[in-house]
């Protein structure tokens, strides 16, 4: 029987969540984009959620839920986190000043759930993207976490991030079985 795994994709506004899910989803992403506020350069922003689906080779299915990034929509976060197996925190690698916001988001989710997470560092295609070795010191206060650089528009990169997360999920599940 095929199983359904719920994975959440979160992170600060504009970090690439909608793009990330769209790059891998086999269905057109169900998205709730609206015009971004007047103060923002961005054309549109997610106001409720994104939803995408990926069927794995063994028939299991990933359901990907993207959160809104703007904190005026953060009432959706806890609802979306219900039942998730793991989550991706996307950070824009060209904007280290947004990492503090990313950390707050991660802390909200880790308060609601013990599910593992990985950090996806987006805009890896840009010269300005933080170099790999600089990232751990920037987010040292987060604790030990896998960091994967990615171009959120690239199917291959998105796959690498999700596989890293699924490995953490499986490790966790084994730990639980051994403890029980």
What does the binding site for ligand GTP look like in residue numbers (CB under 6 A)? 13-19, 45-46, 68-70, 122-123, 125-126, 151-153
Q: How far is the CB of 19 from ligand GTP (least distance, A)?
A: 3
The first and second tokens of residue 155, run together, are 């199917």
CB of 75 to ligand GTP, least distance (A): 15
Residue 122 binds Mg ion (CB under 5 A) = no
Q: Identify which of residues 18 and 122 has a Cβ nearer to Mg ion in the complex.
A: 18
Q: Check binding of 67 to Mg ion (CB under 5 A).
A: no
Give the pairing of strands 86-92 and 4-10.
parallel
Which lies closer to ligand GTP via its Cβ, residue 25 or residue 46?
46
Q: Using CB distances below 5 to 8 A depending on partner kind, what does residue 122 bind out of Mg ion, ligand GTP, none?
A: ligand GTP
Residues 6 or more apart from 80 whose CB is under 8 A from it?
8, 49, 65, 67
In 3-state terms, what secondary structure has residue 150? coil
Residues 6 or more apart from 83 whose CB is under 8 A from it? 6
Report d(CA 177, CA 180) in Å as an integer: 5
| Site residues for Mg ion per CB under 5 A | 17-18, 46
């Amino acid at each position: 029987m095929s199983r359904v795994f719920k994975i959440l994709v979160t992170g600060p506004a504009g970090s690439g969540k909608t793009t990330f899910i769209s790059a891998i989803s086999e269905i057109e992403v169900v998205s709730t984009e609206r015009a971004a506020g007047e103060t923002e350069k961005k054309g549109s922003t997610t106001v409720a959620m994104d939803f995408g689906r990926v069927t794995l080779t063994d028939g299991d299915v990933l359901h990907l839920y993207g959160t809104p990034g703007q904190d005026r929509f953060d009432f959706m976060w806890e609802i979306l986190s219900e039942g998730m197996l793991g989550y991706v925190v996307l950070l824009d690698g060209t904007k280290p000043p947004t990492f503090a916001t990313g950390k707050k988001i991660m802390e909200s989710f880790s308060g609601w759930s013990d599910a593992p997470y990985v950090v996806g560092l987006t805009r890896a295609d840009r010269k300005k993207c933080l170099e790999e070795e600089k990232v751990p010191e920037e987010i040292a206060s987060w604790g030990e976490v896998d960091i994967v650089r990615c171009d959120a528009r690239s199917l291959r990169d998105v796959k690498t991030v999700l596989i890293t997360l699924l490995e953490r999920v499986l490790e966790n599940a084994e730990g639980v079985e051994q403890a029980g």
